[in-house]
């Protein structure tokens, strides 16, 4: 599922291809789930003729700011992605063996036409959303999100303060979008692995030192993943990411530590018991 780095990649793609351009046409699929009950005619009427001023993101949500409200807001869901006509598609699923190179791509929900081409939004499982919002940051879903670890990481003191009164385990905290927007399963596991913290630990039992270690790793992992444009092959070889997938009983880290899989916060969790305490 796309997490913060993948969505930042999508935002950057929109920025490079669409910002400053006028929407000449929009092809909208009939899908009352993805478009929140809006008809193709309604969505198209709000887009065509508008000029795109900026492409923005908070957590896993990204949007285009137009010269006239409402603005289109996008959630990629598990399988959503953007592609500009003629560009090589980027696989978002770490296990994907192949990518779709047809045009328009399969499962296209929206095509935005500008003067030099088209941008297509695909959504195979219909778990993503295309929303229209008059004031994006002041309305759900963005108004309900916590800090963005890449764009608005709290200071160390503020981070510790925001954990006060939080109950439950630390993995659930990291994945709570009202706490840290954009963190999903693999980022949470990577942060806890590199911070050497057991994912089952209770938040209120973590020491200030452990919380600061958690913050430092969250910031570093997200920033590096964004800097390499979410290209998984460019992640450091020692990251748990490269060995956390699947159910191989003999899976080990680069250093030879055994990787175990358990359920935490309702999600399959990869962790290293000899390292994480």
- E strand or H helix at 188: helix 185-195
* Ramachandran class of 125: left when φ > 0, alpha when ψ lies in -120 to 50, beta otherwise: alpha
Query: CA torsion sign, 106 to 74 to 82 to 226?
Result: negative
Active site annotation includes 2: yes
User: What average pLDDT does the segment 13-17 reach?
Assistant: 96
Q: Which of 3, 6, 118, 190 is catalytic?
A: 3
Q: At what angle do helices 185-195 and 208-227 cross, to 10 degrees?
A: 130
Q: Give the mean pLDDT of 179-195.
A: 98
- Give pTM, 2 decimals: 0.92
Average pLDDT over residues 252-274: 95
pLDDT digits (tens, 9 = 90+) for 60-113: 999 999 999 999 999 999 889 999 998 877 655 444 556 678 899 999 999 999
229: left (phi over 0), alpha (psi -120 to 50) or beta: left
* Percentage, residues of the chain above pLDDT 70: 96
Peptide bond into 170 cis (omega under 30): no
Catalytic (active site) residue 36: no
Task: List pLDDT tens digits, range 141-172.
Answer: 999 999 999 999 999 999 999 999 998 999 99
pLDDT for res 247:
73
Rounded to an integer, what distance in angstroms lies between the CA atom of residue 221 and that of residue 210?
16
Check if the beta carbon of residue 62 is closer than 8 Å to that of residue 77.
Answer: no
**Is there a catalytic annotation at residue 105?**
no
Residue 118's Cβ-side half-sphere holds a number of Cα atoms within 13 Å equal to 17
Average pLDDT, the chain: 94
Q: Which of 38, 46, 60, 109 is catalytic?
A: 60
Count the alpha carbons within 13 Å of 129 in the hemisphere toward its beta carbon. Answer: 14
* Residue 9 confidence class, pLDDT cut points 50, 70, 90: very high
């Amino acid at each position: 599922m796309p997490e913060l780095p993948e969505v930042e990649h999508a935002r950057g793609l929109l920025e490079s291809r669409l910002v400053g351009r006028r929407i000449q046409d929009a092809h909208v699929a009939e899908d009352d789930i993805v478009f929140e009950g809006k008809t193709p005619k309604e969505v198209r009427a709000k887009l065509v003729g508008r000029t795109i001023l900026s492409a923005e993101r908070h957590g896993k949500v990204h949007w285009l700011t137009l010269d006239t409200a409402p603005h289109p807001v996008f959630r990629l869901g598990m399988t959503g992605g953007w592609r500009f006509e003629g560009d090589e598609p980027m696989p978002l699923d770490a296990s994907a063996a192949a990518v779709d190179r047809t045009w328009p791509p399969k499962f296209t929900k929206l095509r935005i036409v500008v003067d030099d081409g088209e941008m297509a939004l695909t959504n195979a499982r219909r778990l993503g959303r295309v929303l229209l919002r008059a004031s994006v940051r002041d309305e759900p879903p963005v108004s309900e999100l916590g800090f963005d670890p890449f764009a608005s990481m709290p200071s160390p003191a503020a981070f510790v303060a925001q954990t006060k009164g939080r109950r439950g385990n630390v993995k659930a905290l990291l994945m709570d979008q009202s706490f840290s927007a954009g963190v999903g399963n693999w980022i949470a596991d990577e942060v806890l692995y590199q911070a050497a913290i057991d994912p089952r630990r209770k938040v209120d039992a973590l020491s200030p030192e452990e919380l600061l270690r958690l913050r430092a790793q969250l910031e570093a992992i997200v920033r590096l993943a964004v800097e390499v444009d979410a290209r998984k092959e460019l992640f450091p070889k020692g990251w748990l990411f490269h060995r956390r997938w699947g159910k191989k009983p003999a899976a080990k880290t680069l250093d030879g530590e055994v990787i175990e899989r358990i359920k935490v916060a309702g999600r399959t969790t990869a962790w290293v018991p000899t390292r994480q305490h």
